[in-house]
Amino acid sequence: MKQILPLDPATYQRHSIHGENRTWAETNCYSDVIIELLHGLGHEPVAALPFTLAIDFEGDQWTFFKFPPADLLELYGFDIQELAPWRPLVDHIEEQVGAGRPVLVELDSYYLPDTSGTAYRLAHVKSTVAVNEIDIGNLRLGYFHNQGYHVLENGDFIDIFQMEGLVHERMLPPYIEYVKKAPHFTPLSQAALVEASRALLGRHLGRIPERNPFPAFKAKFQQDLDWLLTTDIDVFHAYSFVTLRQYGACFELAGTCLGWLTAQGVDHLAPAQAAFDQISQTTKAFQFQLARSMARRKAIDLSPLDTMAERWEEAMGGLVRQFGGTR
């Protein structure tokens, strides 16, 4: 068996970001995995959340937000590198985990038992996990995914790694990364971590959209309603995931980041935090309203998007005045 951390899914305590009091229990697969991986390794992932400020509406979706590798390197000394697969996937994972390097890999949720009730044995959906433990002889895999830490075994292990042969000969290898420790990195003290996070916030304010993204999203959403109201619930889930869930969860993380910095002694962040929290909560309610509208084939009130636009302007304007920026 190759193992980095001696973890047990039954006793693992997930990070508070994935607690029951959250508006969005999950964000997206990559960000959730990094949050729990950092937490499992004894680090505070909230310090690395300033990047969430820069989310934008991209035309057909909101930004699929991910921790920038440079931020993880600066704060924690984690160097994320792409792995070029040339052997069976299971062999690469065993070697890297044996070297003390977690492996970030896209796997099929159809074989991930922690997705029971949504994708497990129901739908083929790619999702990123972070492998912490692998035992090829006993067909066991320990991995971070979504809100916590999990284990799969036996038939699921065989199926997820296609150990009895590829489903078809044109199957492509997944995207794989490994996390190595940067040489000569000195772990930051709490004070230094707070200051580094505060500096990141200032830098990421330089990446925020030049224009408020909500008016553009409202205009596109209004166009999309013409066909959304005629389609089925599966399309709703796909559409909601790349739009409402992305920015709703992202702005909740932005508020969490500002709340953490406030608790660490950084002043004047409470108004922006409240604005981001309101965007997140309003988006969750709006998502439910959209689902009801689609079920009834009736139009939906779009005024909540105007409120979100106002809160975005308030939050970003206040942060730019405090930290500097271009707005």
Q: Residues 144, 291: one domain?
A: no
Assigned domain for 283 exists:
yes
Per residue in 65-105, pLDDT (tens digit) is: 999 999 999 999 999 999 999 999 999 999 999 999 999 99
Residue 60 within any structural domain of the chain:
no
| Bridge partners of residue 143, in order along the sequence | 131, 150
Tell which residue, 238, 236, 229, 273, has the closest CA to residue 252: 273
Indicate whether 157 and 259 sit together in one domain.
no
Shared domain for 119 and 158, answered yes or no, is yes
The pair of structure tokens assigned to 165 is 């042969």
Tell me whether residue 57 is in a domain.
Answer: no
At 71, list the tokens.
């931020």
pLDDT per residue as tens digits for the range 27-72: 998 999 999 999 999 999 999 999 999 999 999 999 999 999 999 9
Block residue for tokens 């930004």: 63
Number of domains in the chain: 2
Sign of CA dihedral 23, 26, 30, 33: positive
Q: Both 256 and 307 in a single domain?
A: yes
In a domain, 70, yes or no: no
The pLDDT tens digits along the chain (327 residues) read 999 999 999 999 999 999 999 999 889 989 999 999 999 999 999 999 999 999 999 999 999 999 999 999 999 999 999 999 999 999 999 999 999 999 999 999 999 999 998 899 998 889 999 999 999 999 999 999 999 999 999 999 999 998 887 665 556 789 999 999 999 999 999 999 999 999 999 999 999 999 999 999 999 999 999 899 888 888 888 999 999 999 999 999 999 999 999 999 999 999 999 999 999 999 999 999 999 988 888 889 999 999 999 999 999 999 999 987 655
> Would 15 be classed as within a structural domain?
yes
Q: Kindly report the number of other CB atoms within 10 A of residue 130's CB atom.
A: 26
Give yes or no: residues 118 and 20 share one domain: yes
> Which segments of 206-269 does DSSP mark as H helices, in order?
213-228, 233-240, 246-263
- Domain region containing 260: 190-323
CA dihedral 212, 217, 220, 225 (to 10 degrees): -150
DSSP state of 23: S
Q: Tell me, yes or no, whether 61 lies in a domain.
A: no
The pTM assigned to this predicted structure is 0.93
Co-location of 138 and 248 in the same domain? no
If DSSP codes are grouped into helix, strand and coil, which group holds residue 209? coil
Please indicate, yes or no, whether residues 176 and 250 belong to a single structural domain of this protein.
no
Residue ending a domain, among 181, 206, 230, is 181
Q: Is residue 306 part of a domain?
A: yes
Residue 194 lies in a domain: yes
Q: Which long-range contacts (CB under 8 A, 24 or more apart) does 229-238 make?
A: 229/293, 229/294, 229/297, 229/298, 229/299, 230/297, 231/294, 233/291, 233/294, 233/295, 236/290, 236/291, 236/294
- Give pLDDT tens digits for 276-293: 999 999 999 999 999 998
